[in-house]
Structure 1
Amino acid sequence: MEQLSTLDALFAYTETQSTPMHIGQMLIYDPSTAPATNGGKKGAVGFKDILRYIEGRLDGARIFRQKLVRVPLDLDHPYWVDDADFDLEYHVRHIALPQPGDWRQLCIQAARIYARPLDMKRPLWEFTVIEGLNNVDGVPPGSFAVLHKFHHAAMDGKSGLEMTLALHDMDAKMAPREFEGNYRPEPDPAPLNLLFKAQINNVVNPVRGLKTLQNLLPVPKRMFDLTRRMKQRDDAKGRAPKTRFNKKISPHRVFDGREFSLADIKKIRINFPGATVNDVMIALVGGSLRAYLKAKNDLPEKTLKIGAPVSVRSDDDKASAGNQVTMMQVGAGTHLDSAAERLEFVMAETQRSKAMTEAMGAKTLMEISGAMPAGLTAASTKLMVRMGLVENMNPAVNTVVTNVPGPMVPMYFAGAKLVKSFGMGILAEGQGVFHVVTSYNGNVILTFLADREIMPDPEFYAACVEQSFMDLMKAKSTKAVKPVKKVAPKKKSVAVKKAEATKPKKRVAASAATAGRGRAKRAKK
């Protein structure tokens, strides 16, 4: 039995029918690489093969067979406990697209599945196998997709990536792992025991938080020094403006994404020395938002603000699940028409925001968040959600762009080759669009999840993404050093030429005379 941290528990407290708190991804596979197994034919992966493959890897992560147990009245944070009634076939579902099985059909079906909340009384994950992908560009006919859903209370993007890697092989011919069958679940804890622990924790946690506060004593001076050294541009200051994306969320979703070559991203970075992949993708989103809002006559004069999650997971925390992230606030440059100026604006913003985050001590802030009594945290969070206070507040950020780098080598699932990978984010009240940047095997992928009522035309926004990328490909840095033109030497006058001609001769003559006197002296000796 393991208790959730305060940050993890917040995702459980804010779960509603309109704002399910899960993250995920949609992975597309080509089964032609799969070897023949269990009497089947080569190049075919059946649903039973997938069940057997997943079953052999259930010991790879706690979330697979543990459920959430709430403390009565939410007087303390929930606990992870073993699920005695675990049923693999409940968590792994199977559907097929109607023909022709194209990209638009896949996106619509994925959005419908993703919009449904997970059952909070079972292990908080779900896989849906989607067959019939016969008309998707860049995907071999006969391919299938697997849509993942993991509750955010159980993991962040980085720990989710590690779980994804654990579900894949480096070789299509690797033998499936066998399920050992030694799962022995513990009984659910008694409610009275949970209440007793809650009383202890509500006393101990604030004391522990006060001890951690001493780590924040140097922060004000560090922040003051940093603010003086790295001054923020005037057009980057201020709060995030309110847009069509920042209002109450409906339970309906849309989903789409675009794939770009990592080689093209590198070309953009060459034109803008010092730019990171994250800078390029945030500027790409800034250009997309600008084009979309401008077409809707909803573009604010001030720049939109983007939340960029940053992992604070240390090497010692690699094996742990849960959330260990903080959030940077970065101006998207949506007030700038030039793609070059927008990227340079984002570069300055990310550099400053990253320095501010480091100066504040993000890890310490995350630890201090647990100082408040858990019962008070739960009550205040649920009250804000139910009263609609969140969507009526001015947004801290207009959207989120999270970057979760993936493997740069081919991966295999039940022998099928992974050909495309699309991340899927999370919508909270007041934030109706979420962007995920992933990478796989030489490509960088930008996907977006949005409220269908707020963005009824995801194809148009996807076109805005493509145009924004083309603008960045054509852009050149405005701060590049211009090459110095070679100036032709001026013609010398006759007098100057004569003077230059006589100088060497005098030196040679003097040198020869000196040498002659030296030889005469040596001869006399």
Structure 2
Amino acid sequence: MERLSGLDASFLYMETRSQLMQIIGLIEVDPSTILGGYSFGRIRDQMRQLVRATPKFRRKLDNSLINIDHPAWVEDDHFDIDRHVHRVAVPAPGGIGEVTELCGHLAGQTLDRAKPLWELWVIEGLSNGRIMIMLRMHHAAVDGVGSAEVLSQLFSLSPEQPDLDADLLHQTAGGSSHAVLAATGAVHYLIRRPIAMARLLPETVAVPFAWLRRARSHEAMPAPFGAPRTRFNGPITPHRSIALTQLSLADIKRVKNRFGVKVNDVVLAITGGALREYLLAHNELPDRPLVAMVPVSVHGADDSGLMVEGTNKVSGMFTQLASDVADPVERIERAAELSRKAKAHHADIDANILRAWAQFAPGTTMSTLMKFYGDRKLALKHPPVFNVTVSNVAGADIPVYFCGARVTAVYPLGPIFHGLGLNITVFSADGELNVGILGCTDQIPDIDFLAHAFDEQLKTLLEVCGD
């Protein structure tokens, strides 16, 4: 039995029918490299073997009415691969539009909480002869870095199926015991939480004062609830739209070297430019710059015993996107400067403060409030916390294979929220920067515009590099 941390459990509590807390990977593969040829049965059988050495795929939620703390993961003793690995054909002609429409529909479906919280769809019928693998996992089970680790367990370095890790084969989440769950929950709730509260309060009280000092010297990242309103910042529905594009990592690094900035600065500048073009095309560009929330991994950070270890180890950094700047050169320079200030400010804040406070998340109350917040469209009643999530996850910079098929692209997709209806995540792997864009169809029906805008923004910056 492994108890969820407060941050892990928060993704369960925040979930509603419209606000789905899922992390998705769209994995495009070339089946021509599969030894013996492709068949869905072969993929399913190999996944059955891989799951034996991937404990996260076999654990499910367990809770009890007498448990006053967060739920726990336990081994699913009745795990059935056929309830998790599915097959579907994309409608003709099988182009990228048909693929993203199908994936958008699947992204709007809930995961069954009575089973391990993941499913894999094998999508056939693509016009280019490839196969798209759609892996959906609940955010309670993985964060961005965790999802990359899961992929590394599913991928291999050659078409041959590797030997399974003997140590992982014997790992288990453990069985269910409601008495133990309730007893340890009481200890956490009645003893550990008050101690953590006493340690957290002084540290937390100091944060806004330090923020104000930085703001006075123009060295602060943007404060929450200060972003301009856009179409992305209203209530969302269960309908999802997806756009994908693939950029050359060598081109990104060429721009990086030309301007003396980081890869993430180039990503932020391109994102700001793409959103600027989209909002300009709709006559909706705010005068003030858009604000992005950039997830920051805190894997390896010392938690000082303030919280349950958990799966999600992430904090958030706010930065402006320079979307108010028309000139691409000025925009990338401005984006790099804004990012530098945000990183310096974020580094001054305890990396675990968000995770520590999440331990106090009240399950039933939080779930009720989130449903009320969405039903009453309260996202329209206050300034946006921020405008868009922009995440950058690093993968392997070498060729990899999934069940014998060469992986040609991995597109990541993160969750969206009421008031925060656009997520842009990039995944660098094997010389490519794969961009996954997920939004609410009712807010951004023409999401493909953004994917094309990413291509155009990089093209513009490369033209500058050639001058």
Structure 2 length as normaliser, TM-score? 0.89
Aligned equivalents of 2:169 and 2:255: distance in 1? 52
What does residue 506 of structure 1 align with? none
Q: Identify if the C-alpha distance between structure 1 residues 28 and 220 changes in structure 2 by more than 3 Å, giving closer, same or farther.
A: closer
Does residue 240 (structure 1) correspond to residue 227 (structure 2)? The answer is yes
- For the aligned residue pairs, the C-alpha RMSD in angstroms reads 2.9
* Contact in 1 for aligned 2:269/2:332 (Cα 8 Å): yes
Q: Identify if the C-alpha distance between structure 1 residues 81 and 197 changes in structure 2 by more than 3 Å, giving closer, same or farther.
A: same
Does residue 80 (structure 1) correspond to residue 68 (structure 2)? The answer is no
1:313-392 correspondence runs (5 A): 313-314=299-300, 322-370=311-359, 372=360, 374=361, 376=362, 378-380=364-366, 382-388=368-374, 391-392=379-380
CA distances 1:288-318 after superposition (whole Å, capped 9, x unpaired): 111111111111111110010000101899x
What does residue 158 of structure 1 align with? 145
Q: Identify if the C-alpha distance between structure 1 residues 434 and 74 changes in structure 2 by more than 3 Å, giving closer, same or farther.
A: farther
Give 1:102 shift. Answer: 1.4
Q: Identify if the C-alpha distance between structure 1 residues 269 and 210 changes in structure 2 by more than 3 Å, giving closer, same or farther.
A: same
What does residue 17 of structure 1 align with? 17
Residue aligned with 1:245, SS: helix
What does residue 7 of structure 2 align with? 7
Aligned length: 456
Give 1:96 shift. Answer: 1.4
Aligned equivalents of 2:225 and 2:208: distance in 1? 20
2:116 to 123, 126, 136: 123
Instruction: Output the amino acid matched with 1:355.
Output: A
What does residue 263 of structure 1 align with? 250
1:17-416 correspondence runs (5 A): 17-36=17-36, 44-72=37-65, 75-135=68-128, 141=129, 143-175=130-162, 177=164, 187-190=175-178, 194-204=181-191, 205-213=193-201, 231=219, 239-273=226-260, 275-314=261-300, 322-370=311-359, 372=360, 374=361, 376=362, 378-380=364-366, 382-388=368-374, 391-392=379-380, 393-416=382-405
Instruction: Output the amino acid matched with 1:162.
Output: E
Give 1:198 shift. Answer: 3.7
* Contact in 2 for aligned 1:2/1:81 (Cα 8 Å): yes
Q: Identify if the C-alpha distance between structure 1 residues 73 and 428 changes in structure 2 by more than 3 Å, giving closer, same or farther.
A: farther
* Contact in 2 for aligned 1:223/1:359 (Cα 8 Å): no
Aligned equivalents of 1:134 and 1:369: distance in 2? 45
Aligned equivalents of 1:8 and 1:306: distance in 2? 22
Give 1:340 shift. Answer: 1.3
CA distances 1:322-379 after superposition (whole Å, capped 9, x unpaired): 1101110010111111111111121111111111111011224422442x3x5x3641
Aligned equivalents of 2:332 and 2:367: distance in 1? 36
What does residue 507 of structure 1 align with? none
CA distances 1:157-192 after superposition (whole Å, capped 9, x unpaired): 1011011011011011345649999898855333x6
What runs of 5+ residues in structure 2 fail to find an aligned partner?
A: 304-308
Q: Identify if the C-alpha distance between structure 1 residues 302 and 81 changes in structure 2 by more than 3 Å, giving closer, same or farther.
A: same
Aligned equivalents of 1:100 and 1:335: distance in 2? 39
With 124-133 and 385-394 compared, the bigger mean Cα shift is at 385-394
Instruction: Output the amino acid matched with 2:196.
Output: R
* Contact in 2 for aligned 1:340/1:476 (Cα 8 Å): no
Aligned equivalents of 1:214 and 1:198: distance in 2? 25
CA distances 1:9-44 after superposition (whole Å, capped 9, x unpaired): 1100011111111101110111211223xxxxxxx1
Percent identity between the two aligned chains:
31
* Contact in 2 for aligned 1:75/1:378 (Cα 8 Å): no
Instruction: Output the amino acid matched with 1:127.
Output: L
Which structure carries more relative contact order (alpha carbon 8 Å, separation 6+)?
2
What does residue 511 of structure 1 align with? none
Give 1:444 shift. Answer: 0.8
Aligned equivalents of 2:165 and 2:8: distance in 1? 32
Structure 1 length as normaliser, TM-score? 0.80
Give 1:108 shift. Answer: 0.9
Larger Rg: 1
Aligned equivalents of 2:257 and 2:298: distance in 1? 29
Aligned equivalents of 1:79 and 1:264: distance in 2? 45
Aligned equivalents of 1:196 and 1:321: distance in 2? 19
With 63-72 and 360-369 compared, the bigger mean Cα shift is at 360-369
Instruction: Output the amino acid matched with 1:106.
Output: V
Aligned equivalents of 2:310 and 2:67: distance in 1? 22
Aligned equivalents of 1:437 and 1:383: distance in 2? 31
